Structure 1
Amino acid sequence: MSEGIHAELLKRRQAVLPSWLSLYYDEPIEIEYGEGRHVVDAEGNRYLDFFGGILTTMTAHALPEVAAAVSTQAGKILHTSTLYLNRPMIELAEQVAELSGIDDPRVFFTSSGTEANDTALLLATGFRSSNQVLALRNAYHGRSFSAIAITGNTGWAPTSLSPVQTYYVHGTRRRGTPFADLSDEELTAACVADLEDVLAQVRDNVACFIAEPIQGVGGFAMPPDGLFAEFKKVLDRHGILWISDEVQTGWGRTGDHYWGWQAHATGGARPDIMTFAKGLGNGLSIGGVVARAEIMDSVAANSLSTFGGSPVTTAGALANLRYALDHDLQGNARRVGAVLRARLDEAAARLPVVAEVRGRGLMIGVELVDRDGGPSPKAATDVLEHARRGGLLIGKGGLHGNVLRIAPPLTLTAEEAEEGAAALVAALEHAGHKP
């Protein structure tokens, strides 16, 4: 009997790709095509997609408007580089600048979120003439050398070598920490005091503070609303720049706000630099940085980008962004996210395996624990597997790998939310009954 399509492809992958590239499932699958909120694997199995290729399929799989824009541009020219004028790139930059909320914005496009965060670090450290960076514990900002250096999650940091000096501050994690029983107000005060204490022990000037408004790989851990506004008061006294990593929280996914940082806009607080990627391209390889002009234009050397802002990716991204705005996908994330959240909250109230449901809009985390209340990565893996067998794709993360990550395309319907919630609750019930 011949082996299945997926098993054969797995063997080929293992022969040529690195062993450290993570794969989901005991029996990994190849996603062959998709439409709307559904995908089909190479063996013909159909799934409701609640992870979107790591929060990247923002609108829908095979969105006709994006496909048409890519096809039209590909029929004209695929590539030129930033050494030439590029109409799709300029038009997309105009749209991003208008939406950003950054004062006097300038936009630079990259090929990924990792590269965007690299660029933000380059800008901040150069502008401040300092290689010292503040980051949050449990943070993840990418897989490059400098991004790993500001990652506060050991599971995703393969080296301690670093081009920057990083100081980690508190901001999001409560369970299993001395902050577990604090109210939002008390946690905010404690985190600000911690920030002040860290800065009192730093010898020279610090370049920047970088943070995800909701930590993605960190299991959708969230700071209290307004925390970064309180941080900004401290940062401004020291001239430290605030970088908001919106790679996962941008473009209306949280429902309540267009950008994650807007949950911290108390008193007019806003970041000096913002990074983005993932959802903008709906699967196309694009990222970028928005910064105040004085920061963006402070680079004192020649530079260019071979692939950042290519005609094809920016044409597709512009079509995707216009679709999201024209169809109020931020509002849909808020409305349909509430349906999904209600079903998960109901299940959490009766299932001991669920310690917490958190998040906003269509960015929801479910933290799982064992019978003693400790983190249960095993339960998360069990739910991931059982959900797939039930026709649902989800993700996982968290410091201990025990948090389910739920982030479907923003066009998700209420009926699909109910369907996915039913499959997920069934998987949670299954995991809760396992020893």
Structure 2
Amino acid sequence: MTADDLLTRHRAVLPSWMPLYYAEPLELVAGSGRRVTDAAGRSYLDFFGGVLTTMVGHDIPEIREAVERQLRTGLVHSSTLYLIRQQVELAEKIARLSGIPDARVFFTNSGTEANEAALLCATNHRRSHQILAVRNSYHGRSYATMGVTGNRAWSASALNPLQVAWLHSGERLRGLLARLDADDRVEAAVEDLREVLATQTSGDVACLIAEPIQGVGGFTHGPDGLFAAWRKVLDEHGILLISDEVQTGWGRTGEHFWGYQAHGVTPDLLTFAKGIGNGFTLAGVVGRADVLESVPAISFSTFGGNPVSTAAGNAVLDYLLDHDLQANAARVGAILGDGLRSATAGLSQVAEVRGKGLMLAVEFVRPGTVEPDPELTTRVFEACRVGGLLVGKGGLHGNVIRIGPPLTLTGDEAREGLAILVDAIRTAVEVTA
């Protein structure tokens, strides 16, 4: 079977709104460490990790063996109506690491479901369906999570079960706050929050849901300390804070284990997904017991926290901690970040290299402006693939290259990928010129 045959079959049975990367879509058939192989036998350095999901790399023996041990028992599913040892053990670890006092954990299958569960708990706890969300955010593809997604390209329905009021993100490239320095942006964002509460809500708001670094939004983020400044106002009204850590959690930023820790504040609820399963279906919400216990009826997840996924999750988390991958993210991320900033310093087509640790982005614009250039971005994206490097693409305007490699990335691999990416940027810019 050829790749073209598979593409034809894909288009015949799967919806058109489910996108495929690249002008010539790839079928990946194998992976090892930080590299994947396509159906034609070509190897690529993986700098996107299945959208920041293959967090510790492909085919890691400790994770494979943990899953195989569970499979050998013959029990792959029992539902949460029965005790699941792997689930309890993983919940204990996550509760301890969350930083949230007296924490409870509820497992789901995806980040979307985790955020949906967090919203369910918050709205029940506060008896309100009023939500504060952040512009340019992404929280999932279900009915309620689309309602709190502030990125039009990902809002697949105009209908919304929630009453949502929108805050400025505090990002530094565009928007009303971009012209301000970091301290003034925080102050202005707080003033914005107060005005939104006074003019767009009836006062009994349930929660603010926010990403410490916006994932789909192109790895944009406000100044450190923004969440703490917001929290002071939220506390005046009893409003809960949900930190969406689906992409920022588990030490990826290098600076901290959770993205929220850069802000000097502890959320009431924290959602997690992606990397904790390293490709196995695993996600959840962890939060204060009194908030998690606000659900007034029976609720459970058939597959969430199943024996196989939590066996993987325990192995992933143990591997992450045993190998201090947060420190590696900081060390190797600096090679990439500093290298990209140095290599692109003279290019007017690069508006910004941003991010933390192994969560980095390059934003492309038309020279001398901040007008997005998605066409140039696509050329860079395709050139990376030709060079043997897989990266992500995103941002509100589709003009951002996203870099989220496995946290086990080595220094040599970082330099190899950096060289490919820089060459792709220079080639694409020369074509544009």
TM over 0.5: yes
Query: Moved runs in structure 1, 4+ residues, more than 3 A?
Result: none
The more displaced of 135-144 and 346-355 is 346-355
- With structure 1 as the length reference, what TM-score do the two structures score? 0.97
Aligned-pair CA distance for 1:370: 1.5
1:310-321 paired onto structure 2 within 5 Å: 310-321=306-317
Q: Does 1:13 align with 2:13?
A: no
Aligned to 2:193: 195
The 3-state SS of whatever aligns with 1:357 is strand
Q: Does 1:341 align with 2:337?
A: yes
The 3-state SS of whatever aligns with 2:328 is helix
Aligned to 2:61: 64
The 3-state SS of whatever aligns with 1:140 is coil
Aligned to 1:365: 361
Paired residues of 1:348 and 1:355 also in contact (CA < 8 A): no
User: For each residue in 1:160-181, what CA deviation from the matched residue of structure 2 results, as whole angstroms up to 9, or x when unmatched?
Assistant: 1001011110123332323222
CA distance in 1, matches of 2:216, 2:291: 28
Q: Does 1:75 align with 2:72?
A: yes
Aligned to 1:390: 387
Aligned partner letter, 2:290: E
CA distance in 2, matches of 1:126, 1:165: 14
Q: Does 1:113 align with 2:111?
A: yes
RMSD (Å), alpha carbons: 0.9
Q: Does 1:281 align with 2:277?
A: yes
Aligned to 1:28: 25
Aligned to 1:399: 396
The 3-state SS of whatever aligns with 2:352 is strand
Aligned to 1:254: 253
User: For each residue in 1:74-104, what CA deviation from the matched residue of structure 2 results, as whole angstroms up to 9, or x when unmatched?
Assistant: 1111000100000000000001011000111
CA distance in 2, matches of 1:178, 1:315: 46
The 3-state SS of whatever aligns with 1:73 is helix
Aligned-pair CA distance for 1:381: 0.8
Aligned to 1:420: 417
How many residues are aligned here? 429
Aligned to 1:43: 40
Aligned partner letter, 1:221: T
Aligned to 1:127: 125
Give the percent of matched residue pairs that are identical in Structure 1 and Structure 2. Answer: 57
Aligned partner letter, 2:347: L
CA distance in 1, matches of 2:55, 2:47: 11
Aligned partner letter, 2:339: R
Q: Does 1:308 align with 2:304?
A: yes
The 3-state SS of whatever aligns with 2:132 is strand
User: For each residue in 1:55-77, what CA deviation from the matched residue of structure 2 results, as whole angstroms up to 9, or x when unmatched?
Assistant: 00110101111111111101111
Paired residues of 1:353 and 1:428 also in contact (CA < 8 A): no
Aligned-pair CA distance for 1:45: 0.8
- With structure 2 as the length reference, what TM-score do the two structures score? 0.98
Aligned to 1:433: 430
Q: Does 1:351 align with 2:322?
A: no
Aligned to 2:213: 214
Q: Does 1:245 align with 2:244?
A: yes
Aligned to 2:287: 291
CA distance in 2, matches of 1:384, 1:407: 14
CA distance in 1, matches of 2:302, 2:220: 35
CA distance in 1, matches of 2:394, 2:301: 32
The 3-state SS of whatever aligns with 1:434 is helix
User: For each residue in 1:139-193, what CA deviation from the matched residue of structure 2 results, as whole angstroms up to 9, or x when unmatched?
Assistant: 0001111110000000000211001011110123332323222110011011000
Aligned-pair CA distance for 1:347: 1.4
CA distance in 2, matches of 1:176, 1:184: 13
Paired residues of 1:79 and 1:311 also in contact (CA < 8 A): yes
**Any gaps of 5 or more consecutive residues in structure 2?**
none
CA distance in 2, matches of 1:182, 1:19: 41
1:88-107 paired onto structure 2 within 5 Å: 88-107=86-105
Aligned to 2:137: 139
Paired residues of 2:280 and 2:309 also in contact (CA < 8 A): yes
User: For each residue in 1:214-261, what CA deviation from the matched residue of structure 2 results, as whole angstroms up to 9, or x when unmatched?
Assistant: 000000001100000000000000000000000000000000000000
The 3-state SS of whatever aligns with 2:354 is strand
Aligned-pair CA distance for 1:6: 1.7
Aligned-pair CA distance for 1:372: 4.7
Aligned partner letter, 2:298: N
Aligned to 2:373: 376
CA distance in 1, matches of 2:83, 2:301: 13
CA distance in 2, matches of 1:172, 1:245: 17
Aligned partner letter, 2:301: S
Aligned partner letter, 2:221: M
User: For each residue in 1:314-357, what CA deviation from the matched residue of structure 2 results, as whole angstroms up to 9, or x when unmatched?
Assistant: 00110011001000000000001001111101112022221100
Aligned partner letter, 1:127: H
**Any gaps of 5 or more consecutive residues in structure 1?**
none
CA distance in 2, matches of 1:149, 1:300: 23
Paired residues of 1:348 and 1:356 also in contact (CA < 8 A): no
CA distance in 1, matches of 2:299, 2:164: 26
The more displaced of 52-61 and 299-308 is 299-308
Aligned-pair CA distance for 1:297: 1.1
Paired residues of 1:352 and 1:432 also in contact (CA < 8 A): no
Aligned-pair CA distance for 1:434: 2.2
